Structure 1
Amino acid sequence: MAYGTQPHIAYQQNSVTTATPEELTLKLYSGCIRFIKLADKAIVEENIQDKNTNIQKAQDIIRELMVTLNMDYDISHQLMPLYEYMHHQLTQANVKNDPSILKEVQGMVEGFRETWQQVIKANKLQTQAR
């Protein structure tokens, strides 16, 4: 099927291509959380293939967050080890089939997403005040 016949795919593509870098980062965090939840569900259902696939997708997102960090900022030097830790923990969750490790990483990513949402909101308010 062409994209024109699948409006949800066209919408998703458009939302990514028109998003600001800040919004893209927010989408990455949300996607990572979604894949972690799917991996957790797969562990419960003993679906090893889906668990592995979804953990790898979450790891891909963490890697993307790592490679796009602007190391000119001090905060990036604080974020990098946290991203490395989350990536490592996802590997451990995959190897050990351990949902508690997934929950730990999910909580960390949710914290990052919440903080990022606050940063976006503060930047919008600051821009409006000018």
Structure 2
Amino acid sequence: MYGAKAYAQVGLETGINSASPHGLIVMLYDGAIEAIRKAKIYMEMRDIEMKTKSVDKALRIIKDGLTAALDVNAGGDLAKQLLSLYDYIGKELILANAQNSAQRMDTCIGLLDDLRGAWLEIGQTATRP
């Protein structure tokens, strides 16, 4: 099992090192969405510890990754709106964890997935000649 984890970690590190700035943001969205999906599974399994760890991981990705990447001064209104949306998603995740609410988790996944799609579009547009 350790070998598979180490191999996956190397693959992740390689992806991070070779990703564009847009690609890194998409990876953060992917990580947050995956963590929330796992939290839902753990919630269904009634594994409170793992559910909480997964929600915490998603919150850290949103706060330390997505929110930290925002430049409110350079990004203007769009960055401010994203900051508000990330804050809302964070609060919804905390409530989802406390209330065992799959619906709130689904809302967070939906919002993050929409944002992920927008970033993919921006990345494709930016790389076209």
- 1:7 positional shift: 3.5
Which of 64, 72, 75 aligns to 1:73? It is: 75
- Rounded to whole Å, the distance in 2 between the matches of 1:46 and 1:59 is 20
Q: Which structure has the higher relative contact order (CA within 8 Å, separation 6+)?
A: 2
Which of these two proteins has the greater Rg computed from alpha carbons? 1
The alignment-based identity, stated in percent, is 24
> What TM-score does the superposition give when structure 2 sets the normalisation length?
0.90
Which 4+ residue blocks in structure 1 deviate beyond 2 angstroms? 6-9
Instruction: Give the aligned residue type for 1:112.
Output: L
- Are residues 1:98 and 2:107 paired? no
Which of the two has greater helix per residue?
2
Which digits, 9 at most, give the CA deviation of each residue in 1:36-83, with x for residues without a partner?
100001111111011100000000011021121011212101111100
Which digits, 9 at most, give the CA deviation of each residue in 1:18-48, with x for residues without a partner?
2111111000001111001000011111110
User: Where do 1:2-81 residues align within 5 Å?
Assistant: 6-63=6-63, 64-71=65-72, 72-74=74-76, 75-81=78-84
Which digits, 9 at most, give the CA deviation of each residue in 1:82-129, with x for residues without a partner?
00000011100111111110000000000000111111011111xxx2
Note the aligned Cα RMSD (angstroms).
1.9
- Rounded to whole Å, the distance in 2 between the matches of 1:13 and 1:80 is 27
2:126 maps to 123
Long gaps (5+) in structure 1: none
Instruction: Give the aligned residue type for 1:19.
Output: A
> What TM-score does the superposition give when structure 1 sets the normalisation length?
0.89
